[in-house]
Chains A and B, each alone.
Chain A
Amino acid sequence: GNSVTQMEGPVTLSEEAFLTINCTYTATGYPSLFWYVQYPGEGLQLLLKATKADDKGSNKGFEATYRKETTSFHLEKGSVQVSDSAVYFCALSQNTGNQFYFGTGTSLTVIP
């Protein structure tokens, strides 16, 4: 079946630190992979996505590379800011299916 596993949180970092949030997936074929971000009191927003192996999605300084060989889509940012404090969700969708599969979310707090 399809599933997404994210690293457990919460994660607390100092401003300007390097961020990695691990995400691995189980799926058949070549799913599309996504990172969503949820700020306090809001819905989820698309952060970035990748649709095929070795693609790199990027947005707002965040990056993730679709690694078919390790079935991973780790989220990285070189220098986090306080405004990046949020919950981050990794997700996949099969291109021929109609459902999204979400990880459990990783809470990030960035302190000044």
Chain B
Amino acid sequence: NAGVTQTPKFQVLKTGQSMTLQCAQDMNHEYMSWYRQDPGMGLRLIHYSVGAGITDQGEVPNGYNVSRSTTEDFPLRLLSAAPSQTSVYFCASRPTPQGTGNTIYFGEGSWLTVV
């Protein structure tokens, strides 16, 4: 059971480089999202998507781009990496955008360091 799969697990970037974090889910979930996790700040929503072709900004979208061309994939692009983007990134999905008790499922995380 693959669930939500993220790659890479670890990455070191130089300031100004760009990269893409990949996320795929095999549960046919409509809703996908990206969070970053920083010490003392919990999880903060970067971008989310309620279906193929539809994306929207979360709490901390600056410096990141997303697209949703298929139901399964939701890549996160760092346009020009900055040290402030050093963080752990989690992709997450849920069956539908709304609904009572609708559980969200997380990938295992991507540890990104920008030097």
Q: Which residues of A contact B (CB under 8 A)?
A: 32, 34, 36, 41-46, 49, 51, 89, 93-100, 102-105
State how many angstroms separate the Cβ of A24 from the closest Cβ of chain B.
15
Could you tell me the distance in whole angstroms from the C-beta of A109 to the nearest C-beta in chain B? 16
Chain A residue numbers with a CB within 8 Å of B108 are: 41-43
In the complex formed, the residue of A with least CB distance to B45 is A99
Taking a contact as CB atoms under 8 Å apart, the answer to whether A96 and B98 are in contact is yes
Contact surface of B with A, Cβ cutoff 8 Å: 4, 31, 40-43, 45, 48, 50, 58, 90, 92, 97-109
* Residue pair B101, A89 in contact (C-beta under 8 Å): no
Q: How far is the CB of B55 from chain A (nearest CB, A)?
A: 12
Chain A residues whose CB sits within 8 angstroms of the CB of B41 once the complex forms = 104
Q: Which of A89, A98, A103 contacts B48 (CB 8 A)?
A: A98
Query: Which B residues lie within 8 Å of A94 (CB)?
Result: 98
Main SS of the interface on chain A? loop
Given A41-B109, A95-B99, 20 more pairs with CB closer than 8 A: A43-B4, A43-B106, A43-B107, A44-B43, A46-B104, A49-B103, A51-B101, A93-B102, A95-B98, A95-B100, A95-B102, A96-B98, A98-B48, A98-B50, A98-B97, A98-B98, A99-B48, A100-B45, A104-B40, A104-B41
B90 to chain A, nearest CB (A): 6
Q: How far is the CA of A93 from the CA of B104 in the complex (A)?
A: 10
> Assuming A43-B108, A43-B109, A89-B42, is B31 touching A98 (CB within 8 A)?
yes
A32 and B109 form a contact (CB under 8 A): no
A-B contacts, 9 of them at CB < 8 A, read A32-B100, A32-B102, A41-B108, A43-B108, A44-B92, A49-B103, A100-B104, A104-B40, A104-B42
